[in-house]
Amino acid sequence: MTDGPKRILVIDDEENLRHMLSVMLTRQGYLADTAANGVAGLERLQAATYDFILCDIRMPEMDGKTLLARALESGIASPFIMMSAYGTVDTAVACMKMGAYDFISKPFKKDEIVMVLKKAEERERLKSENQRLREVVAGKDGFCGIISRNPAMQELFSQIRRIGDLKTTALILGESGTGKELVASAIHTCGNRAKQPFVAVNCGAIPENLLESELFGHVRGAFTDASGDKAGLFEQADNGTLFLDEIGEMPQALQVKLLRVLQEEEIRRVGAAASRKVNVRVVSATSRDLEADVRSGRFREDLYFRLNVFSITLPPLRERIEDIPLLAEHFIAKYGAGDGAAPVRIVSETMRLLTAYDWPGNVRELENVIERATILRVGDAITAECLPPRLRGGVRTSEVHLSDENLSIKKAEDALERDLIRKALIKTGGNRTKAAVILEISHRSLLYKLKEFGIE
């Protein structure tokens, strides 16, 4: 669809109707051309581009239905709105089945034509946005499923491209919810291992006594429940990529064994007598401060340096404000499309609230908020009422602190508490008990405040 005033072609054999529509459409801000019959109309369509076509069905030389068929055969994609007099409604319906956008019965009022055109404009706008989102995912604003136009993220994409074909271990750093697994997947996808397995495991989600068997496998009889041989994740990822998420949660005893695997490029199943060679590219990630963990003795220094050959730091969403509308539209396209449902849109006030929020849970929190909003919406619009209370009443923490216009002590205190809790959780890697100690409040109080502020 063209920018600026929309161009409309009126095709009708009644001169008075053509003139009336031309004057009316011009007053409404459209650029109107006319054609007296289907042959002349087709010639105009082949010579110029129009945003919409108003076409009568009954015309001499070439009727509207034939014109529509010829236009579609020629690849003309502009929406046709058929004008049908009494007795041609069935033909108008047949035209819609062929690909016309709508029809309007004669005689009609000015408001009816304007309303149909506005609906068609909105539909074309939404189609254009959906197409843009598809191009974003595959184009300059998207990289291997990661969507961003932020300069820091664009530089990150360049880093991923540089190491894609290498076997170099990579360490991805960033807050929870920033998309570390997506980056790991991108490293795998853009390299020469793309057709081989990509295996992911969360080191903090598997009990310590099971993690070794999960990673390296076991042989029958190695322990009570080992009823048969089992290949571990390293073997499953052979010739591909193994993503070790939350590597900072790995027990120290396993850190030693992981270091040996990285150095020797071989694994030994639990209970086995011999080792097996593996060709695995290891990518790890953490939201913890591993350097601090190394200084405290919690994480082995030699393993840290072995994993951190190439480090990638993901910026939090609050530092990527320009990406919020892009991501919101992406998640709407993901969750808002239902069978026969009208395209979903975000009203301007809702978008303002989305871009004003701090997003402590980052992209994951934004995705959850949009999924919830698409469920709660009335009609096709996501309004402010569809958002959680923490977004409707919230502004950026920094704005609360720095604004001379907002003198509410309550809002400032809430913003400060929210900020301190978020930082404490980041510092402790999400450990709520330790965060409560740092904050000098009870664990129960922390849980209450997490619920109150909507921090996940």
Mean pLDDT per 10-residue interval, the chain, length 456 residues? 78 92 91 93 91 91 90 88 78 84 84 86 71 54 80 91 92 93 93 92 86 89 81 92 94 93 92 91 94 94 95 94 90 70 79 90 93 86 88 55 52 73 78 80 78 73
Q: What is the pLDDT of residues 93-139, one digit of tens each?
A: 888 888 888 888 888 888 888 888 888 887 777 666 655 555 555 55
| Inside any domain, residue 411 | yes
| Inside any domain, residue 48 | yes
CA 74 from chain center: how many Å?
Answer: 35
| CA dist 23 → 19, 20, 27 (Å) | 6, 5, 6
| Inside any domain, residue 258 | yes
Question: Within this chain, do residues 177 and 58 fall inside the same structural domain, yes or no?
Answer: no
Q: What is the pLDDT of residues 394-409, one digit of tens each?
A: 444 444 444 445 556 5
Give yes or no for a contact between 281 and 289, defined as CB atoms under 8 angstroms apart.
Answer: no
**How far is 63 from 80, CA to CA, in rounded Å?**
14
pTM above 0.85, yes or no: no
Task: Kindly report whether the peptide bond that precedes residue 316 is cis, defined as omega within 30 degrees of 0.
Answer: no
Question: Within this chain, do residues 188 and 310 fall inside the same structural domain, yes or no?
Answer: yes
Residue type (1 letter), 432:
R
DSSP secondary structure of 383-446: -GGGS-HHHHS---HHHHHH-SS---HHHHHHHHHHHHHHHHHHHTTT-HHHHHHHHTS-HHHH
Confidence (pLDDT) at 104:
87
Question: Within this chain, do residues 361 and 403 fall inside the same structural domain, yes or no?
Answer: yes
Question: Within this chain, do residues 311 and 323 fall inside the same structural domain, yes or no?
Answer: no
Given 136, 155, 171, which residue is the final one in a domain?
136
**Nearest by Cα to 396 from 353, 363, 357:** 357
Given 91, 120, 136, which residue is the final one in a domain?
136
Question: Within this chain, do residues 83 and 164 fall inside the same structural domain, yes or no?
Answer: no
Q: What is the pLDDT of residues 332-343, one digit of tens each?
A: 888 875 544 567
Query: What CATH number did the domain enclosing 423 receive?
Result: 1.10.8.60
Query: How many CB atoms are closer than 10 A to CB 131?
Result: 10
Give yes or no for a contact between 184 and 247, defined as CB atoms under 8 angstroms apart.
Answer: no
**How far is 334 from 155, CA to CA, in rounded Å?**
26
| CA dist 349 → 14, 299, 355, 387, 453 (Å) | 45, 46, 10, 11, 21
Give yes or no for a contact between 341 and 376, defined as CB atoms under 8 angstroms apart.
Answer: no
| Inside any domain, residue 1 | no
Question: Within this chain, do residues 300 and 323 fall inside the same structural domain, yes or no?
Answer: no
Question: Within this chain, do residues 429 and 449 fall inside the same structural domain, yes or no?
Answer: yes
Strands 217-218 and 230-231: antiparallel
Question: Within this chain, do residues 302 and 164 fall inside the same structural domain, yes or no?
Answer: yes
Question: Within this chain, do residues 367 and 439 fall inside the same structural domain, yes or no?
Answer: yes
Question: Within this chain, do residues 327 and 303 fall inside the same structural domain, yes or no?
Answer: no
The token duo for 265 is 């490029």
Q: What is the pLDDT of residues 193-210, one digit of tens each?
A: 999 999 999 998 888 888
Question: Within this chain, do residues 174 and 293 fall inside the same structural domain, yes or no?
Answer: yes
**How far is 231 from 234, CA to CA, in rounded Å?**
8
The token duo for 217 is 């496998």
Residue 314 DSSP code: P
Question: Within this chain, do residues 274 and 387 fall inside the same structural domain, yes or no?
Answer: no
Residue type (1 letter), 220:
R
In sequence order, the β-bridge partners of residue 80 are 53
Given 300, 315, 330, which residue is the final one in a domain?
315
Domain that residue 113 falls in? 7-136
| Inside any domain, residue 2 | no
| Inside any domain, residue 173 | yes
Strands 281-286 and 170-173: parallel
Q: How many domains does the chain have?
A: 3
Confidence (pLDDT) at 342:
62
| Inside any domain, residue 438 | yes
| Inside any domain, residue 327 | yes
Helices 409-427, 432-439: crossing angle, 10 deg rounding: 130
Query: What CATH number did the domain enclosing 101 receive?
Result: 3.40.50.2300
